[in-house]
Amino acid sequence: MSEATELHVDAVSTVRNFLKLLELGDVDGAFALVDPDIEWRNTTLPTVRGADRARKAFRSMDRYDMSFAVEIHHIAGEGGTGERDVVLTERTDYLGKGTFKVGFWVCGTFELRRGKIVLWHDHFSWIDLLRGTSVGALSALRRR
């Protein structure tokens, strides 16, 4: 394979890989898949602009020894040209610490340009997050 040969990975695979790398704790590997000017938006929270800031915000979970996991229920891509692609996800995200784990529903929109994620926009319900926190607390108590 020559140096000029590039491996083309479709947008859906890029998003799957991004989420899986975050789940595995490989934040640097995940953020190698994003554009330096990425915007990370979460419902009602301030937008994080730039790969360095987004990486730092995600790494802040390490400080508190928190885990992150994802269960993708549906994923679909549109575009396919590589110039501008959109990937939609319906998933359950899990945030945890020790035996305490909060699961909540997330709909994500990822926009990619030339194979790099330029927008990561997650929509979630605070009510569902509160429900997940309650369920997680009860489950953690039962395991004691």
Residue-number span of the structural domain to which 84 is assigned: 11-142
Q: Give the per-residue pLDDT at 8.
A: 55
Q: Is residue 2 assigned to a domain? A: no
pLDDT-derived band at 61, boundaries 50, 70, 90? confident
How far, in Å, CA of 33 to CA of 17, rounded?
9
Tell me the catalytic residues.
Answer: 93, 122
Residue 42 lies in a domain: yes
Q: Does residue 51 fall inside a structural domain?
A: yes
| Contact by Cβ (8 Å): 83, 112 | no
For 6, which DSSP code? -
% of the chain with per-residue pLDDT over 90: 62
Residue 50 maps to a domain: yes
Q: Is residue 66 part of a domain?
A: yes
Determine contact, residues 4/16, Cβ cutoff 8 Å.
Answer: no
Residue 140 has pLDDT above 90, yes or no: no
Does 103 map to a domain?
yes
- Residues 89-130: pLDDT tens digits? 999 999 998 888 899 999 999 999 999 999 999 999 888 778
pLDDT, position 4: 42
CATH of the domain at 27: 3.10.450.50
- Could you write out the DSSP letters of every residue in 17-63? HHHHHHHTT-HHHHHTTEEEEEEEEETTSPPEESHHHHHHHHHHHHH
The total number of structural domains in the chain stands at: 1
Longest dimension (CA), the chain: 57
